Structure 1
Amino acid sequence: MRFRARILAAAVAVTGFTMTSPPASADEGMWLFNNVPKKLLKEKYNFEPTDAWLDHLQKASVRFNSGGSGSFVSATGLVMTNHHVGADDLQKLSTKEKDYLKEGFQAKTAAEEIKCKALELNCLQSIKDVTAEVNAAVKEGLPPAEAFKARQGKIAELEKANADEAKGVRADVVTLYAGGAYHLYTYKKYTDIRLVFAPEKAIAFFGGDPDNFEYPRYDLDMCFFRVYEDGKPIKPEHYLKWSEAGSKDGELTFVSGHPGRTNRQNTVAELEYLRDTGYPYLMQRLNRLEVLLGAWVARSEANRQEGEDDLFGIQNSRKARIGGLGGLLDPQIMARKAAEEKRLRDFIAANADKVPADAAKAFDVIAAGQKKRVEYIKEMTLLEGGAAFNSHLFSLARTLVRYTDEKGKPAGERLPEFGEARLGSLKQQLFSDEPISNDLELLKLADGLTLLATTFGADHELVKQVLAGKSPRERAYDLVSGTKLKDVPVRKAMFEGGADAADPMIALAKLVDGPARAIRKKVETEIDEPRRQAYSALAKARFAMDGTGNYPDATFTLRLAFGQVKGYKEDGKDVPPFTTMAGLYERSKQQENKYPFELPKRWEDKKSALDLKTPFNFVSTADIIGGNSGSPVVNAKGEVVGLIFDGNIQSLVLDFVYDQTVARAVSVDSRAMIEAMRKVYDATWLADELQGKK
């Protein structure tokens, strides 16, 4: 369930803005915190959250810039998330002597807590509707390029006016309902994050790739960090308390997290693009990268330590896209989407006086854009998406090159990622002293250059310029060994004084920046902007048809989901909602305790001390998607009963449709976490902190 934004964005641009969801039913919905379905909850579950309850849960929730969710769970700034959300940080902090990703980590004192590299947490403080201000900036009749520029200018202006880097305030204007609404999200930003506790990967990801997206599960997928300011742990006003009893079958639970992206109200034309072009092309890249990294990681222990987190992300994305593609190839799902679209088309045709004038032609505009997307997909993916230059060093070079070009431009003319309000986060990433592996960089960059040459052809002028008369492997070696960008002081000097073209990686970034910007501009002005306007018209038509009380598609912003702890039937058999610690040992024995079902030695040694009836993982009907990883699961009292870490295989269609018959969210049970801390890891101090006993 990991949301791998970097991999997916680089792989292929497959989605964009989407319109509102149809009226929610059952436990459907990734709800905005300022538009929670209180009436629905009251009628179905006899529970109505108060504004204070919602405000507390909102401000106890955090977003990881690495692509996941988390929550404050103690009065001294302790943050809970998944092991796989923290895996990137565990790998960055590891050394040749200490492999924290594999072996785990525990800091029993504050002095032992390790500061993370380039990790940023965002805690949502306020939401303001700025739709009128953004729309007013785009005058009627503007050409797409001018409309795009005007809108981005207003968004940059709003973000700059409301951000305050000195006070750690971040401001993002979030596009909702495909442009039907724009909300200003103001966050408290934290950048001093320290690692506190993580179990071994073998128990956090027990079952590995074979059990990923499956159920029953037995994963202790948890990780804890602490937030500091001014050198001291913060004392958050809002943090979640631990439930004494845990959850039970049939209980109403809530999930507060940051679902990454859904496509539930894409037009049929867009879904057909995803089915026929977008996903298959993405799958080709994921399969290629999985074979490449899988073979490399298997060659040595050093390779495994450096590359296994990247490999896991690719495997996770590959399996998730297989499930999504399966949904798009399901005639029943596509028929359902066609019926939903027909309902909207019919409403527009019969209510011309209630909908925007351009709503009727919006479907054709979107369909035309998808034809262009097919034409542009490879060039966009390889050049602007960076797939041809699959290298962290190249990403650093491109950032420096583009910052040098963008910093002098007016706010509305800059690329959005270089807006004034975002420079603080950009610099934190750019100046991180995280280790960079030359061997891994060489492997990935050589493969990217090979992909470029085989896609465009060896005689393509840009390919010849990029390769400079050498093979992809030789050229990659020259670039990786010749660049000085591994040194943070060098990057800082270039950030202040301008990108130095004498550096070979900078020179490469400059060489390809023109073609990359050109294809980006085509996509933005020929596809994205007309499509945005079309979807905005459809969103307003849907508002007229169904009202404004529904949820928008996911945008990696804070949402509230709810559902019951509930099992399901699979192949005619009952799948109970809970697994137990006894089941963990049984599952390992069935697989002869061999990788990836091998238990860490301490789990074998401590078996007799455990209450094997303790619930380990559980499932619920909560509506989640990638990005929800690390989200707290709370009961009606707002107490922690679990930690989201996955969905079952049947949940992979939730990107497009919601169905609670067999789709389930999978969580670590709060009781298993405490049992393991106290009886396996001798982390009584941590359990006491979580349970308010210290």
Structure 2
Amino acid sequence: MKQACVFLLLAVVAGPLSAAEGMWTLDNLPRAALKERYDFTPDAQWVDHVMKASVRLASGCSGSFVSANGLVLTNAHCVLDCVQALSGPQSDYVNRGFIAHRREAERQCPSEELNQLEAISDVTERVRKATAGLSGQAFIDARNAETARIESECVGAAAATRRCDVVELYGGGLYHLYRYRRYADVRLVFAPEYRIGFFGGDPDNFNFPRYNLDMGLLRVYEDGKPATTPQFFPIRREGAAVGELVMVTGHPGNTKRQLTVAQLERLRDADLIDLLAYYSERRALLWQYGRQSAEAARQAQSDLTYTENSLKVIRGQLDALLEPALLAHKRMEEERLRQIAGALQPDPWAAIAQAQQVYRTLRRPYTLLENRRGFYSEHFRIARHLVRAAEERTKPNHERLPEYQDAALPRLQQTLLSPEPIYPAYEKTKLAWSLTKLREQLGVDDPLVKLVLGNESPEVLAAKLVDGTRLSDPAERRRLWEGGFEAISASTDPFIQLARAIDAPSRELRKRYESEVEAVENKQAATIARVRFAHDGMQVYPDATFTLRLSYGEVRGWQEDGRTIPPFTTFAGLFQRATGTDPFALPESWLKAQTRLDGQTPFNFVTTNDIIGGNSGSPIIDRAGRIVGLAFDGNIHSLGGSFWYDEARNRCVGVHSAAMIEALDKVYGAKALLRELVVQP
């Protein structure tokens, strides 16, 4: 690890990137590097096709169109929330799987939305002009107001089918407007059984060899009919050869490669430590709840899966920040920029460092209240949004909090009014635990704790809140949403009353964070970005922002402790790995199909593509724009990818195209889907 890290450090300090590093925006692709390394030059038509064929799941994943009739390929774990919402005690699609052999059997996901990028435009000067000379809360208010105006102008009267987001790049160095085609009618077509979609469970997560059919199929509809989607990726059954150029087009969520050393130290010493403790306890809570009964285990299954995944990510990020070579590299890069910048006043790095000290005094009450970590409850999430939306919607659009501006309301309304079931016993368990954490971390005598708990114990209060609420009923939520401020003010629902009671102190914490931390970081990061642009031009890609990016690489294994890790696994290896007990138990459908399956079919594989969370469900394509695989994970070394990239060992893990076709054919008998998928030899 140290040898690889030192090599990366020298490469970065020496000049332009030479490795297959980067999550590049489509309007600034590394054409020179692609030409030099792979003799590939993507033209405007190729880029437009990739942009229109790639999609984003608003819930946090990526995907792609794979037919002209709105069929979307993504991961099984990306459709898990939809599958869970459609399931019940008598229809456990999570564990039994789901397949629609006819269009009429496709079922609408209660709260999913898909976004197809249509255009990118630069709005930096508008935002910069609106915020010129401002700081603190005035800067935040002016920035939010101008982005609200830009997004509102972009959406216009097309809110039902258009989404527009102003995106900060380079920490505020640039602002780009992303205009999307919005698909709100998203239906489930296929999801495999949990045992094969998540085969290996937490022990195999972020590891390789892997044996997962982590694929799912959705379809977007318009006016009750499958949408027409002429831009799509055909599937290349045989996949890509070792060493062949492959690209990932997806929506990486968040990276921190351009943070200052002070910000990384805060992450290491404060945020990640807190999160590690939080998710460790949450995992134990959910695991214990699931032991009560099969139904309790079903209710907690998806939350436990996500919690275990988050916990592993946090551990990997913390391990990366504890590696001395990483911060040594960051300090050297920072010093390089300081020398280029000269005697800037105020010193942007010093200002950001001071803001981190302010954050440390705010972080516990801020995360517990404003980030709702002290209120782990679906009822409270709904109540918070209803209360805030009612107040914010009385204001002019440009004066609202960003999440309640007009451009964001269609998605918010969709999630709030979703008919997804809420389970009272599960809610009581989660809320009681999180209220205990609130009291534990702030102290019994803290005014906020007294305001929330009064004289009640967390367990008693949680029971009273859940037993007394009507927010489980979508009709009641719609009544409150449509009734606005008057309906919320008159509501006696205990969760609405709780959300109203803590709204003022929570808003005040948010205001302090935005004015004393976020505003400082944003303004000073923009200054640092201008220094970088002046010296390096656009040779540096921006940190990930859950917007469409392209990364390039090749199919390749790696060296681990003197061993060569081959880039492919096979179906035969899956059955050899299966033990019959979870998490290495196979579903009955696969056991029955074993003799029909070709054991030499490639199953999972690895590439050098630079990916991060949010890339789940991204297509892995060749230079002709054909799908050769489906990204679903990274190896354990990729967890440090939030902060830097190491081509020697960072790997993207994907489902091979041949595995998807073989499984749909010989395990699931999905003849109609296979006819619809354009499969190329």
| Counterpart-to-counterpart distance in 1, 2:463 and 2:623 | 57
The equivalent position to 2:370 in structure 1, one of 384, 388, 408, is 384
Shift of 1:686: 1.5
| Counterpart-to-counterpart distance in 2, 1:429 and 1:22 | 46
Q: Which moved more, 1:379-388 or 1:450-459?
A: 450-459
| Counterpart-to-counterpart distance in 1, 2:263 and 2:196 | 40
| 1:407 maps onto 2:406 in alignment | no
| 1:24 maps onto 2:11 in alignment | no
The equivalent position to 2:411 in structure 1, one of 421, 425, 443, is 425
Shift of 1:21: 14
Residue number in structure 1 paired with 2:61: 68
| Counterpart-to-counterpart distance in 2, 1:167 and 1:291 | 41
Shift of 1:167: 4.9
**Secondary structure of the equivalent of 2:497?**
helix
Kept in 2, the 8 Å contact 1:21–1:551? The answer is: no
Kept in 1, the 8 Å contact 2:246–2:623? The answer is: yes
Q: Which residue identity is paired with 1:623?
A: D
Q: Which residue identity is paired with 1:508?
A: L
Equivalent residue runs for 1:92-491 within 5 Å? 92-140=85-133, 142-163=134-155, 164-349=157-342, 357-358=344-345, 361-491=347-477
Shift of 1:493: 1.5
Residue number in structure 2 paired with 1:8: none
Residue number in structure 2 paired with 1:4: none
Residue number in structure 2 paired with 1:595: 582
The equivalent position to 2:495 in structure 1, one of 497, 505, 514, is 505
Q: Which residue identity is paired with 1:575?
A: I
Q: Which 5+ residue runs of structure 1 have no aligned equivalent?
A: 1-19
Q: TM-score, normalised by structure 2?
A: 0.96
Kept in 2, the 8 Å contact 1:170–1:421? The answer is: yes
Kept in 1, the 8 Å contact 2:66–2:678? The answer is: no
| 1:43 maps onto 2:36 in alignment | yes
| Counterpart-to-counterpart distance in 2, 1:233 and 1:671 | 26
**Secondary structure of the equivalent of 2:624?**
coil
Residue number in structure 2 paired with 1:496: 482
| 1:666 maps onto 2:653 in alignment | yes
**Secondary structure of the equivalent of 1:187?**
strand
| 1:563 maps onto 2:553 in alignment | yes
| 1:537 maps onto 2:524 in alignment | no
Kept in 2, the 8 Å contact 1:170–1:189? The answer is: yes
Shift of 1:144: 1.6
Kept in 1, the 8 Å contact 2:131–2:142? The answer is: yes
| Counterpart-to-counterpart distance in 1, 2:202 and 2:379 | 29
| Counterpart-to-counterpart distance in 2, 1:674 and 1:283 | 39
Residue number in structure 1 paired with 2:506: 516
Q: Which residue identity is paired with 1:405?
A: E
| Counterpart-to-counterpart distance in 1, 2:210 and 2:151 | 42
Kept in 1, the 8 Å contact 2:211–2:604? The answer is: yes
Question: What do the CA deviations read for 1:58-93 (whole angstroms, capped 9, x no partner)?
Answer: 111111111100010011110010000100110000
Q: Which moved more, 1:601-610 or 1:510-519?
A: 601-610
| Counterpart-to-counterpart distance in 2, 1:79 and 1:152 | 33
| Counterpart-to-counterpart distance in 1, 2:260 and 2:679 | 49
Q: TM-score, normalised by structure 1?
A: 0.94
Shift of 1:496: 2.2
Kept in 1, the 8 Å contact 2:25–2:549? The answer is: yes
Kept in 2, the 8 Å contact 1:124–1:188? The answer is: yes
| Counterpart-to-counterpart distance in 2, 1:572 and 1:29 | 27
| Counterpart-to-counterpart distance in 2, 1:400 and 1:572 | 57
Kept in 2, the 8 Å contact 1:556–1:627? The answer is: yes
| Counterpart-to-counterpart distance in 1, 2:21 and 2:501 | 48
**Secondary structure of the equivalent of 1:262?**
coil
The equivalent position to 1:689 in structure 2, one of 661, 670, 676, is 676
| Counterpart-to-counterpart distance in 2, 1:22 and 1:623 | 19
Question: What do the CA deviations read for 1:138-197 (whole angstroms, capped 9, x no partner)?
Answer: 132x23211111111110000011114455011110011111110000000001111111
| Counterpart-to-counterpart distance in 1, 2:18 and 2:318 | 24
| Counterpart-to-counterpart distance in 1, 2:460 and 2:158 | 43
| Counterpart-to-counterpart distance in 2, 1:508 and 1:651 | 41
Q: Which residue identity is paired with 2:72?
A: V
Q: Which moved more, 1:409-418 or 1:654-663?
A: 409-418
| 1:618 maps onto 2:610 in alignment | no
Point out 4+ residue stretches in structure 1 off by more than 6 angstroms. Answer: none
Shift of 1:511: 0.6
Shift of 1:692: 5.5
Residue number in structure 1 paired with 2:51: 58
**Secondary structure of the equivalent of 2:269?**
helix
| Counterpart-to-counterpart distance in 2, 1:424 and 1:584 | 43
Residue number in structure 2 paired with 1:10: none
**Secondary structure of the equivalent of 1:79?**
strand
Question: What do the CA deviations read for 1:90-115 (whole angstroms, capped 9, x no partner)?
Answer: 00000211111111011111111111
**Secondary structure of the equivalent of 1:189?**
strand
Q: Which residue identity is paired with 1:239?
A: F
Q: Which residue identity is paired with 2:542?
A: P
Kept in 2, the 8 Å contact 1:21–1:552? The answer is: no
Residue number in structure 1 paired with 2:6: none
Residue number in structure 2 paired with 1:581: 571
Residue number in structure 2 paired with 1:13: none
Shift of 1:22: 7.8
| Counterpart-to-counterpart distance in 2, 1:167 and 1:491 | 20
Shift of 1:688: 2.1
Kept in 2, the 8 Å contact 1:21–1:553? The answer is: no
Shift of 1:690: 1.2
| 1:551 maps onto 2:541 in alignment | yes
Shift of 1:413: 2.0
| 1:526 maps onto 2:536 in alignment | no
Question: What do the CA deviations read for 1:241-294 (whole angstroms, capped 9, x no partner)?
Answer: 111431111110010000000001111111111111110011111111011011
Q: Percent identity?
A: 47
Kept in 2, the 8 Å contact 1:22–1:550? The answer is: no
| Counterpart-to-counterpart distance in 1, 2:138 and 2:319 | 39
**Secondary structure of the equivalent of 2:481?**
helix
- Measured on the aligned residues, the alpha-carbon RMSD in Å equals 1.4
**Secondary structure of the equivalent of 1:667?**
strand
Kept in 2, the 8 Å contact 1:468–1:475? The answer is: no
- CA distance 1:57–1:441, change in 2 (3 Å): same
Provide the aligned length of Structure 1 versus Structure 2: 663
| Counterpart-to-counterpart distance in 2, 1:245 and 1:669 | 9
Shift of 1:451: 0.9
Question: What do the CA deviations read for 1:525-553 (whole angstroms, capped 9, x no partner)?
Answer: 01110111111000000111211232100
Q: Which 5+ residue runs of structure 2 have no aligned equivalent?
A: 1-12
| Counterpart-to-counterpart distance in 1, 2:403 and 2:501 | 20
